[in-house]
A and B are shown apart, each in its own frame.
Chain A
Amino acid sequence: MTIVLWLPILVPTLLGALVTWRHADRWARLAPLATAVVIFATGITLVVRGTVTSSWVLRADATSSYVLLCIGAVAIVALWAGLTSGDHTVGVHGRADALLCAFLAAMSLAVLSDNLGVMWVAVEATTIATAFLVGQRGTRKAIEAAWKYVVLGSVGVAIAFLGIVLIYAANPPGESATLSWIALTSSDHGLNPSVARLGIALAVLGFATKAGLAPMHSWLPDAHSQAPAPVSGLMSGVLLSVAMYAIVRVQALTGLYSGAGLVRGLLLTGGMLSLAVAAALMLTQRDYKRLLAYSSIEHMGIIALGVGSGSTLGLAAALLHVLGHGVVKAAMFVVAGRILTATGSSRIEDVSGLLKTRPDLGWPFLAGAAALLGFPPFVTFFTEVAILVALAVSGLGWVAAGAGVLLLACFAGIARQVLAMTVGPRHQAADHHPTPEHPSRSAMVPVAVGIGLCAVASLLAFPLAPVLLAAAQSLTEVVR
């Protein structure tokens, strides 16, 4: 059974190598999607089995199995949609397919590794794999976005590395020094408390840069707006959550050692700042791809608040939110990419009356926006309410109230822009851009799957409840 753990890492690595060699072949385009299916299937298998599986540095417990499932689901939506788009500015081709495989392998390794050091190596590898994907267009803007992304991303993650070095150094002297998460959390390993606290705080800060939490978020809107649509979908939908997963793992160490209050404070501050930054910049946003990027900052802020609440309810809701937000965000970036192809402009003022001119794009965009805003029956509604309740129950009523107000501001920002694009009157400017032929219906299937999954995920919460609770309990029990 342990072989299953290696599939999400070995299959993409092999496929990636094959694609690098035969990138001109037609099947090469299917390699990333095939990888996504393998990751999803592995995630489902591990979640259904529900037991801890481990092999060398890899280990799958409830949390990692579930996040692996999320990676697979989001990747299927993003890559399937990228494949059927039939448009060459939206999809990614050639060697980019190999990089996508490497990206998926790195994310899988990050969530499946038991060793904190290996997890760090994998998170850094995601930056490496996506650098050229972000700069793929080769335009001035794309190069600028790629440069900022790689510099800020790797410097941020370097801080996390210093943190992990210090956690390792905090081990008592002798042969038993370890970075294994399970070894560190299953019994008190006697870490030097002041060094461990410093290391944990630095690791959380560093991974927070990668997770796009304010005030370390400045690379995010640039990178997510310049990358090709499926890559933006993957980065927004699941890469940020993988970084958040790393934070959750490191946070779990605070229970046995020290720094619990410090890390919770960092997460709550980062979460509130992210909501504030997103609210302020979405209200005045003029570019709809950047609007989606700021919405990702908002949702990472919500997830950080859920994790920062330190309660089982908050963590379980945050985990479910990762899935709900991920699949919708992937679908939304793909729709945004198609709107860009149809109108030739990424400015909000150049797009209007989509429901009339392009209902095939307008309706999914409106429905997806409703999901991002947290309308019922989308699962985001239930998870956002649960996170606010978890904050209030944990004695953080003021944080919950503040977050509620900021969420309303974010709501106003997105609603205003998206309504202008979809139901607003048609501008003169919009008529300058001839809309191309209607795409085939099959092209909208993955988008519908993504948004539909978010709508029914609240029902999925029943079969998923055991794994979510197991994951949240395994993490919070250590925290206490």
Chain B
Amino acid sequence: MTETMTSTIVTTAAGLMLLTAVLQTWRRSSSASVRLLVVQGIALAAMVGALGLRRGSIELLIVALLVAAVKAGILPLALGRTSTGRLDERDSSAKPATGLIGAAVLTMVAYTVSTPLRGLGGGSSAVPAGLALVLIGFWLLLTRHSAVSQLVGFVVLDNGIAMVAFLTSDGLPLTVELGATLDVLLVVVILRTLTTRMRATHGGTDVDDLRELKD
């Protein structure tokens, strides 16, 4: 694979990931959010695969398969099943206009703060997009009130960190990569289980209802 082809794939994948993250900020329906996560997962796997082919690294190709299986398969599946009670949950806290403006501002912030990261690794021109994903994930966690939307925010945040890792240093050592992927998967499964229990005890999944514990 030539250098230009790799960089085209990496840049396209990064753009796709940023686009799906921005779209998350104004989509209300949980099934649309989960579909966007699948696209994001595939883009991340494609990016890792392209980097692996260029470096001729078997390790990175294995990681690419792992990323595809977890981020585009198991995670969205686990998240989607949360909504089986109602096939599609609407998150009324989503404000499309505010979401888009927020995402635009955060992307600009990401480009500003990532100055010291330029010049690291191969596909560094896309590193700010990874940081933008991290910030947009935070934004979703802070502004959304539905448990499922918050979970989506957490996954976006994690995809952003993974993207920064792959673009700046070709990913972490394999042991750490495996452990981290397993951890994130388990956290999402646990939060999904808690969402089910929350629906049983609180009659809904609005995190605003969680206000019994205070001083």
Binding site for B on A (CB under 8 A): 57, 115, 117-118, 120-121, 124-125, 127-128, 131-132, 135, 138-141, 143-148, 150-151, 154-155, 158, 161-162, 164-166, 168-171, 173, 177, 179, 192, 194-195, 198, 221-222, 225-226, 281, 284-286, 290
Contacts and interface: CB of A to CB of B under 8 A. Distances in A.
Contacts of A57: 175
Contact of B172 (A165, A198, A221): A165
Contact of B201 (A120, A139, A285): A139
Task: Place the interface of chain B in its size category.
Answer: 35 or more
Contacts of B202: 140, 143
A288 to B, nearest CB: 13
A407 B19 CA distance: 50
B176 A147 contact: no
B66 to A, nearest CB: 15
Interface stretch (B25-33, B37-45, B156-164): B156-164
B213 A222 contact: yes
A124 B210 contact: no
B175 A154 contact: no
A124 to B, nearest CB: 4
Contacts of B207: 147
B194 A146 contact: yes
Interface in B185-215: 186-187, 190-191, 194, 197-198, 201-202, 207, 210-213, 215
B85 interface: no
B69 interface: no
Nearest to B163: A165
Contact of A162 (B150, B164, B183, B191): B164
A161 B197 contact: no
Contact of A138 (B116, B154, B201): B201
Contacts of B141: 151, 155
Q: Is the interface of A mostly helix, strand, loop or mixed?
A: helix
Contacts of A284: 215
Contacts of A138: 197, 201
Contacts of A222: 213
Q: Is the interface of B mostly helix, strand, loop or mixed?
A: helix
A117 B154 contact: no
Given A118-B176, A168-B169, A177-B169, A141 B161 contact: no
Nearest to B116: A194
16 contacts: A57-B175, A115-B173, A135-B194, A138-B201, A144-B211, A147-B210, A150-B187, A155-B154, A155-B157, A165-B165, A166-B164, A169-B168, A194-B116, A195-B117, A198-B116, A226-B213
Contacts of B169: 165, 168-169, 171, 177
Contacts of B117: 166, 169, 195
Contact of A169 (B121, B134, B150, B154): B121
B197 A154 contact: no
Contacts of B183: 121, 124-125, 128
A281 B147 contact: no
B194 A143 contact: yes
Contacts of A115: 173, 175-176
Contacts of B154: 151, 154-155, 158
B180 interface: yes
B210 A148 contact: yes
A135 B196 CA distance: 13
A285 to B, nearest CB: 7
A110 to B, nearest CB: 12
B138 to A, nearest CB: 8
B190 A150 contact: yes
Contacts of A141: 212-213
A147 B191 contact: yes
Contact of A165 (B164, B175, B191, B210): B164
Interface string B127-144: 000000010001001000
Contact of A168 (B116, B147, B165, B198): B165
